[in-house]
Structure 1
Amino acid sequence: MSSVVASVLVVGGGTAGNTLTVLLRRAGVGVDLVEADPDWNVHGSGITLQGNALRVLREAGVWDRVRESGFGFDSVGITAPDGTVLHVQKDVRTGGDDLPATLGMPRPALQRILAEAVRGSGAGVRLGCTVASLDQDDTGVTAHLTDGTSGRYDLVVAADGLNSATRAMAGFPDRPEPTGMGIWRAAVPRPAGVERTDLAYGGPCFIAGYCPTGEDSLYAYLVEPARDRASLDPAGHAAEMRRLAAGYGGAWTAIREHVTDPAQVNYTWFHRLLVEGEWHRGRVVLAGDAAHCCPPTLAQGAAMSLEDVSVLAETLTTAGRDTPLGEVLTAYHRRRAGRVRTVVEASVQLGEWLLNGDREADVPGLMGRTMGVLCELP
């Protein structure tokens, strides 16, 4: 297979960076990956992966392990705060009929699977290390790393997340903006009978939801107005999540009993970001949360990042060797921009409707139109 690049530095060893590394290595491209976290990001509660995310993980050769480590399902329930089921909706299989509509799994499990795939690909990996500065010209990029070493590459991919330092280093002015919502998350044992995501709108929070992540595991979340995070004592996180969860019945009764360890509870804000214009500056290109992010109201954050790296790997490795790199990176952006904008804007709109208490909002219509777009290949 031809490729317009022979050597790539991937900055960021999360879901997007790891998957891109595997896809490029499968095409014979030389890849080094650097990740600032010495533990390689093996932390977090759970992750919801819709079919279009699973399709990319299958492309990267890890679907069998993901399937074994997670819990797949094909419907979503809407409940009253007391747990009464109001409606059950069949979910859209955005990855095709041969993949579940949705799969939940522990986020650390996904990270371990992808990290092992990166190691097995033969890519160079440096943990506890990232880019200190970049010098680029018409023929390549010299990356100076925080461990004092440097390397020369045809392309640098900024996959270092929402607050990407590489994005800023490359000259992009875009920064994430909070949307006004915050979310509590915790991993707990899965109560008997919970076999899908259920969402309760109303009660003490905007949303109370959970997603099964395995035969015996689940992650639960509560969405509320954003608070000043500096005022929240981490030692009280479990108690605060239990207090909010007390306003919900059904499976939440069992979930609440297991929210006891503050270290297993995290609180973060929702943000939005969509880098306008091209996603590359010379030989540095953005992917995943470094290029865009949105509230998880559609559970499409990971899927959009995974689609990015699938399209980026494809465009890099199928263009003719003599194709100018700038043209290839423009083609990547062109394929992603409209689809990503649709998801970001819909996700933000859903959040705004909740914040404003808009009871006339056409939530089913917006979600249906958006998921219809996502059934098409990116």
Structure 2
Amino acid sequence: MITARRVLVIGGGFAGNTVTILLRRAGLTVDLVEAKPDWNATTGSGITVQGNALRVLRELGLWEQVESSGFPFGSLGITAPDGTLLHVVEDIRTGGEDLPATLGMRRPQLQQILSDAVRACGATVRLGTTAEILDQGTKGVRVRFSDGTEGRYALVIGADGLNSATRAMIGITDKPEPTGQAIWRTPAPRPADVTRTDLTFGGPAYAAGYCPTSESTLYAYVVEACRGRDTIPPGSYADEMRRLADQYGGVWPEIAQHITDPGKINYTWYHRLLVEGSWHRGRIVLIGDAVHCCPPSLAQGAAMSLEDALVLAELLTSGRDWDDDLFQTYYERRIPRVRTVVDASVQLGQWQLDEVRGDVLGLIGRSMTLLKALP
């Protein structure tokens, strides 16, 4: 019986939490382990959630909580470095006409909503815990945990992110590669006239923008060329980001005056990863950033991870055997969509690196139109 199948999910981020909730809803026994004791609920400034991600969150029964916690909007403003509005583009409703095109919210708040739902669904959760694959065979996958205990599972789902240890343990040698760009992010109070994302290309950095995350907050970001992390002391993060932000006009001076606490600034390199061929080895399968990641140029990273979880859970609860054919079907359903997002996101950044005037809005529009289809 499928309800007797025991599943281990390694990683409690957006993908791992989502697949856990969906499998528990179908009656499966699910254990989730997460390496970070705080369950990732205290880090991150903000996140831009597109409609196709909102569609998955609605499927989880979490849309009302997400809606009340975030800031929905439906357009993108393109501005000059001095703040002059040049163009407004209507966002494509990738989740359907009954959902906002886009919603900004604080990343820790979204993680908290999902982790609360995992607790409520009855999964067993172990925080501050890692897992090592020992072997797999006809009796399932044998796993040893960092507390010294062991378990055997019918399926292991690796949702442990960009630097996935599970990916390496099953012999997939692909690794994320830097694209040459990096991003500064920070939360800040929301000026009253910020009611959507405004994005500036050029100026002292490749791009600068902000996204409202609630009635009172936003997150702001600046994209520049990669610099060695060891050349930027964490204590100078606020000074470094403010130096760039101070050179932009419009509402940026109001935002910049709040860039004072280096502990609230996040500096991250952009990476590209797309695992080709398959995303499983036997009864161990990968989802989310463990198999694909890209710059946030389309704001689709979380959406792709949530969709992975939705499609995999749908197949696992369809009554089919949990075999190579099922896991290959999962891969084949996901890879064209994910490849479109990864390639377009990397291309947008490469145009900036190469100082090429590419068809930015056209590429964004074509990519987002494709994502209107169900995953």
TM-score by shorter chain over 0.5: yes
Tell me how far 1:326 sits from its aligned partner. Answer: 1.6
Q: Please tell me whether the aligned partners of residues 200 and 207 of structure 1 are also in contact (alpha carbons under 8 angstroms).
A: yes
Gaps of 5+ in 2: none
2:187 counterpart SS class: strand
Greater shift after overlay, 93-102 or 2-11? 2-11
Q: Please tell me whether the aligned partners of residues 316 and 322 of structure 2 are also in contact (alpha carbons under 8 angstroms).
A: no
2:260 counterpart SS class: coil
1:377 equivalenced with 2:371 (yes/no): no
Match of 1:341 among 339, 342, 350: 339
Match of 1:352 among 350, 353, 356: 350
1:205 counterpart SS class: coil
Deviations 1:93-113 (A, max 9, x none): 000001100001001101111
Q: Which runs of 4+ in 1 moved over 3 A?
A: 2-5
Residues 345, 111 of structure 1: alpha-carbon distance in 2 compared, 3 angstrom cutoff = same
Q: Please tell me whether the aligned partners of residues 3 and 29 of structure 2 are also in contact (alpha carbons under 8 angstroms).
A: no
Residue 314 of structure 2: aligned partner: 314
2:259 counterpart SS class: coil
Q: Please tell me whether the aligned partners of residues 12 and 34 of structure 1 are also in contact (alpha carbons under 8 angstroms).
A: yes
Residue 363 of structure 1: aligned partner: 360
Deviations 1:238-292 (A, max 9, x none): 0111100011011111100011111000101000000011100011101000010
Residues 326, 255 of structure 1: alpha-carbon distance in 2 compared, 3 angstrom cutoff = same
Distance (whole Å) between structure 2 residues aligned to residue 91 and residue 58 of structure 1: 19
1:331 equivalenced with 2:329 (yes/no): yes
**What is the RMSD computed on CA atoms of the aligned residues?**
1.1
Tell me how far 1:138 sits from its aligned partner. Answer: 2.7
Q: Which amino acid aligns with 1:174?
A: D
Q: Please tell me whether the aligned partners of residues 14 and 306 of structure 2 are also in contact (alpha carbons under 8 angstroms).
A: yes
1:60 equivalenced with 2:60 (yes/no): yes
Q: Report percent identity of matched pairs.
A: 64
Kindly report which structure 2 residues correspond to 1:1-378, keeping only aligned pairs within 5 A, or say none: 3=2, 6-42=5-41, 43-320=43-320, 323-359=321-357, 361-378=358-375
Tell me how far 1:364 sits from its aligned partner. Answer: 2.1
Distance (whole Å) between structure 1 residues aligned to residue 373 and residue 135 of structure 2: 39
Tell me how far 1:139 sits from its aligned partner. Answer: 3.1
Distance (whole Å) between structure 1 residues aligned to residue 280 and residue 297 of structure 2: 28
Q: Please tell me whether the aligned partners of residues 134 and 169 of structure 1 are also in contact (alpha carbons under 8 angstroms).
A: no
Distance (whole Å) between structure 2 residues aligned to residue 216 and residue 244 of structure 1: 23
Distance (whole Å) between structure 1 residues aligned to residue 337 and residue 254 of structure 2: 39
* TM-score, structure 1 as length reference: 0.97
Residues 134, 58 of structure 1: alpha-carbon distance in 2 compared, 3 angstrom cutoff = farther
Q: Please tell me whether the aligned partners of residues 162 and 290 of structure 2 are also in contact (alpha carbons under 8 angstroms).
A: yes
Distance (whole Å) between structure 2 residues aligned to residue 305 and residue 138 of structure 1: 29
Tell me how far 1:4 sits from its aligned partner. Answer: 8.5
Tell me how far 1:62 sits from its aligned partner. Answer: 1.0
* TM-score, structure 2 as length reference: 0.98
**May I ask how many residue pairs the two structures share in their alignment?**
374
Q: Please tell me whether the aligned partners of residues 4 and 317 of structure 1 are also in contact (alpha carbons under 8 angstroms).
A: no
